[in-house]
Amino acid sequence: MANSRAYTEAQVEGTVEKTSARKDFLALIKIGIVNSNLITIFTGLWLALHFSGERFLLNIDIILYTLVGSALIIAGSCALNNYIDRDIDPLMERTKGRPTVTGKVTPKKVAFLGFGFIGLGTLALLMTTITATVIALVGAFSYVVVYTMWSKRRLVSNTVIGSFSGAVPPLIGWAAVDPSLDIMAWSLFLIMFFWQPPHFYALAIRRVEEYRAAGIPMLPVVKGFQVTKKHTYAWVIALFPLPFLLTSLGTPFLILATLLNIGWVVTGIYASKKKDELKWATAMFVYSLQYMTILFVAMVLVTLI
């Protein structure tokens, strides 16, 4: 096994671009995932402050502790994900340039960074509420152990299982202000949970051969494209009623959210006419990113009107 791994890394070496230490670090902590999760964390924070009648500037310490602590825990979890997946990452085009694959960072240092960041993040979140801290650590455990170490390599339902950890961030933000977790906080969780399968199914279709080569039982690898597309539409349609749990945000938000949901289905139907599965997956993937950003930013903006 060790010799096989060395051979694989030797094959990869020389085919990846030279990177700076900064770029390697950002790849190690998956800065894109950190940034996107900070959007939903901030939304949870903002809405909790708004509906509890608290002033933003008077709670700037809580806001900073929450954002910094959450970012550190998420970054640490992503580093541990890279540490665990360093045996399969060389087999995938989109991951073969990671510093854990190229050998620019030793596994020991990656593990130390991961646990260190999670520890520092925990200390920061403890400055807010115990509830927010526990939720963040449960999310980290779910992502690193339940998803990365267990379900990702064994179950075709790995995407759905992994969606739990991705849905936790808005709960962290809300709990840092209001540990009682209003129904609105759980509504944000549900939206994030239902958003993730169609988002990652689209990615899995785009990278299906890479997942197949790595032996990851993603839905399109095991069940094929048509089944995956049906599951994608089912999850998108399941999103339709969820914005109506957020009636406190007003009619304009409900209209926007409904249009975004309809637009996701229409995007899929229109893209299907091209009879190109990869173009369909790309269109759905790009729309999913825009959907999440627009929806959560809109939740903040409507409270300012």
Domains of the chain (ranges, CATH numbers): 18-181 (1.10.357.140), 182-305 (1.20.120)
Closest CA to 44 of 186, 194, 199: 186
Q: What is the pLDDT of residue 111?
A: 97
Nearest to 91 by CA among 5, 166, 149: 5
Average pLDDT for 226-236: 97
Helix or strand run (H / E) with residue 5: helix 2-12
DSSP state of 249: G
Between the alpha carbon of residue 113 and those of residues 36, 107, 116, 117, 207, the distances in Å are 21, 10, 5, 6, 28
pLDDT tens-digit series, residues 261-270: 999 999 999 9
Cβ contacts of 94 within 8 Å, gap of 6 or more: 207, 210
Q: What is the mean pLDDT of residues 207-228?
A: 96
**Coarse DSSP helix, strand, coil percentages of the chain, rounded to the nearest 5 percent:** 80, 0, 20
pLDDT in tens, 65-116: 999 999 999 999 999 999 999 999 999 988 898 999 999 999 999 999 999 9
CA gap 69, 273 in Å, rounded? 45
35 exposure class (CB count in 10 Å sphere: 0-12, 13-18, 19+): exposed
pLDDT for res 146:
98
Residue 147 is classified by DSSP as I
Quickly state the pLDDT bin for 13 (edges 50, 70, 90): very low
Percent pLDDT > 70 in the chain is 94
Q: What is the pLDDT of residue 19?
A: 76
Q: Helices (DSSP H) in 142-207: which residue ranges?
A: 158-167, 169-177, 183-206
The pLDDT tens digits for 163-194 are 999 999 999 999 999 999 999 999 999 999 99
Categorize the per-residue pLDDT at 158 as very low, low, confident or very high, splitting at 50, 70 and 90.
very high
CB-facing half-sphere around the CA of 88: CA atoms within 13 A: 16
Mean pLDDT of 38-52: 97
